[in-house]
Chain A
């Protein structure tokens, strides 16, 4: 990521030690910016990996992930005027047209 690129609305942090590679987040992610790692983690799982850009910060991946802290979703701090209150389910509903189904 460089300063010249447009800043994404969201960002993912994935704890590869906690992730068990179930792939539910990959299936759920509306902009399809999560993939499966080539490398195995310490426990022998291929883990979720963020593509590095394109995250909208919708939080759906966090919701479907069965592990408490494998995924953390961050959102860009917006100027106060553009700040939206964002309970996750609002995002999820909004995102449903492009969800996996």
Chain B
């Protein structure tokens, strides 16, 4: 056809601008696609490219390529391109769209990719209502890997891994992704179209455009499932396979709109502006406070080396006790560490933590040989009493100290601390009475630091007040009570 013959004509249907002029990322045959003759992927690519052209979004578009025959979207589309792992494109798309809300993110996937290995990712992206457009090319088979069975393979359809044909008994029924996703509340648009004849092709082009346009309008999750021929694996001519889409495939996968909330959907509003950088430390609560006055004005008289193990039942406030002690130590200018036992122990049964306060840098935060043990009940005492360092202290919550736990080489303060807390009005303050006793014995931390720690860690003022009284009560008991000092 000569240029002369084209005089008086203008191009009405030609190569989309959204395609590269020449497919330079291909190693060879750079002027044509890698698809087999008659493959539906090429047709769908053209619809998508045309939609990108018409919507004027080429610069904003990010195409996410799948694993499968559609893997090379980046060979063809002159847009931002990202190639994803098998089935994961919706997860990749989720993050790209959330971080770049101005972009138009298109996840292009086949039926092995989307309905099998990526079934979780597509389900949850749809359920979260991610503002992405998904183009789902369903040819009822794994084509790239040579024709294995897919979740979408028709009953009776042969594949290399269902050589006798898919049976419902062995492989279950064809998976209806569009219908499945349409049960969710978040998606705004889900339609199944086909490439079975001219009319279907025209409808498919409209649906693809809508799916992309919905995103441009900020409406939400859109998915178009396209029944698409695979002449090579189906072992049919391109025309036969086109007819098979219409005459056979469509009977299993009826065409239609399964969800359309585009009218009621609210357009996505622009995300709130990020705070200025200067505000970030404040938001994180890491703005440095001045050093406490203590360290400047008050010299410590003695070296401190407290290795404390606190043990009790979950709910007795073991961890908080330790935290107040560590926080107070920090306030007093000491090196500190706090290490909890964690996990199921937190929910029930025993709980314990390791706390160290030291004038010197702390090597290990693990306290395997404490010089202070707070045992809030008998099982905790029995678990840890043998580990207490000679010359150390055991502070025990109980009416009487079990005689068989008596050691000649440790100090013991046994008292029903729970009763003290009860008298103060809440048995839960038992932990603070025991902390009071410990502080009275250790003397390492000034009262002001304890108060500061309490105020920092306990939000409810009523509790702060109760805890303060509990601490004082514990100290008093320690002073008054018969300290059962065992001679060495």
Contact (Cβ within 8 A) A13 B6: yes
Q: B55 to chain A: which residues have CB within 8 Å?
A: none
Contact B9 A27 (CB under 8 A): no
Q: Tell whether, in the assembled complex, residue A92 and residue B201 are in contact, meaning their CB atoms are under 8 Å apart.
A: yes
Bitwise interface map of A from 50 to 76 toward B, beta carbon under 8 Å scored 1, else 0: 100000010110111111111111111
Interface residues of A in 18-40 (CB under 8 A from B): 18, 20-24, 27-28, 30
Cβ–Cβ contact B197 & A101, under 8 A: yes
- The contact of B31 among A18, A64, A75, by CB within 8 Å, is A18
Q: Which residues of A contact B202 (CB under 8 A)?
A: 60, 63, 88-89, 92-93
**Closest CB of chain B to A71's CB: distance in Å?**
8
The one of A20, A67, A73, A86 that contacts B14, using a Cβ cutoff of 8 Å:
A73
Q: With the chains together, A101 CA to B243 CA distance in Å? A: 9
Most A-side CB within 10 Å, residue of B15, B41, B45, B49: B15
Q: Which of B17-52 contact A (CB under 8 A)?
A: 19, 29, 31-33, 35-43, 45-47, 49
Q: B11 touching A67 by the CB < 8 A rule?
A: no
Nearest CB of B to A30, in Å: 8
Contact in complex: B10, A74 (CB < 8 Å): yes
Q: Measured between alpha carbons, how far is A75 from B13 in the docked complex, in Å?
A: 9
B383 at the A interface (CB under 8 A): no
B242 within 8 A of A: yes
Number of interface residues of A (CB under 8 A): 49
CB atoms of A64 and B198 under 8 A apart: yes
Given the complex of chains A and B, what is the CA–CA distance between A45 and B238 in angstroms?
14
Contact status A73-B205, CB under 8 Å: no
Tell me whether A60 and B198 are in contact (CB under 8 A): yes
- Is B76 at the interface (CB under 8 A from chain A)? yes
- Encode contact with B along A76-87: 1 for CB under 8 Å, 0 otherwise: 110000000010
Q: Of the candidates B8, B38, B239, which one forms a contact with A66 in the assembled complex, judged by CB atoms under 8 Å apart? A: B38
Verify A66–B39 contact, CB threshold 8 A. Answer: yes
B12 touches A75 (CB 8 A): yes
Say whether A66 contacts B9, CB under 8 Å.
no
Whole-angstrom CA separation of A11 from B237 in the bound complex: 27
With both chains docked as a complex, state the minimum distance between the C-beta of A59 and any C-beta of chain B, in angstroms. Answer: 4
Q: Select from chain A the residue with minimum beta-carbon distance to B4.
A: A1
Q: Which has the most chain B C-beta neighbours within 10 Å: A10, A20, A76, A99?
A: A20
For the complex, would chain B's binding face be called helix, strand, loop or mixed by DSSP majority? mixed
Q: Is B83 an interface residue (CB 8 A)?
A: no
Residues of A contacting B46 with CB < 8 Å?
62-63, 65-66, 68
Indicate if B127 sits at the interface (CB-CB under 8 A).
Answer: no
Q: Are A66 and B199 in contact (CB under 8 A)?
A: no
Q: Which of B6, B10, B199 has most A Cβ within 10 Å? A: B199
CB distance from B426 to the nearest CB of A (A): 74
With an 8 A cutoff between CB atoms, is B206 at the interface?
A: yes
The answer to whether A67 and B33 have CB atoms under 8 Å apart is yes
Asked whether B1 is an interface residue with its Cβ less than 8 Å from the other chain, the reply is yes
Nearest chain B residue, comparing its CB with the CB of A70: B32
Contact between B5 and A1, CB atoms less than 8 A apart: yes
Q: CB distance A22 to B201 under 8 Å?
A: no
Pairwise interchain contact A68-B33, C-beta atoms closer than 8 A: yes
Closest CB-CB distance, A79 to chain B, in whole Å? 12
- For residue B387, CB closer than 8 A to chain A, the reply is no
Instruction: Please tell me if the beta carbons of B9 and A77 are within 8 angstroms of each other in the complex.
Output: yes
With the chains together, A75 CA to B36 CA distance in Å? 29
Give, as a whole number of angstroms, the nearest-CB distance from B14 to chain A: 4
Residues of A within 8 A of B201 (CB): 28, 60, 63-64, 92
Contact pick for B41, options A22, A23, A28, A66, CB 8 Å: A66
A73 to B46, CA, bound (A): 14
Task: Note all chain A residues with C-beta closer than 8 A to B29.
Answer: 43
CB of B377 within 8 A of chain A? Answer: no
Q: Are A22 and B32 in contact (CB under 8 A)?
A: no
Q: How far is the CB of A44 from chain B (nearest CB, A)?
A: 11
Contact A77-B10, Cβ < 8 Å, known A22-B38, A66-B41, A66-B43: yes
Q: Report which of B5, B12, B39 forms a contact with A57, defined as CB distance below 8 A.
A: B12
For A59, list chain B residues within 8 Å (CB).
12-13
- Whether a CB of chain A sits under 8 angstroms from the CB of B167 is no
A: residues with CB less than 8 A from B are: 1, 7, 10-13, 15, 17-18, 20-24, 27-28, 30, 43, 45, 50, 57, 59-60, 62-77, 86, 88-89, 92-93, 95-96, 99-101
A sample of 7 more A-B contacts (CB under 8 A), given A60-B198, A63-B201, A77-B9, is A65-B42, A67-B33, A68-B15, A68-B16, A68-B45, A70-B32, A101-B198
Sample (30) of A-B pairs whose CB atoms are under 8 Å apart: A10-B9, A15-B31, A22-B38, A22-B239, A27-B239, A62-B13, A62-B14, A62-B46, A63-B201, A63-B205, A64-B43, A64-B195, A66-B33, A66-B37, A66-B38, A66-B40, A67-B32, A68-B19, A68-B42, A68-B46, A69-B14, A69-B31, A74-B6, A74-B12, A75-B9, A77-B10, A88-B13, A89-B203, A89-B206, A92-B198
Q: Can you list the 7 inter-chain pairs with the closest CB atoms, starting with the nearest?
A: A66-B42, A92-B202, A22-B38, A62-B13, A69-B15, A22-B37, A74-B9
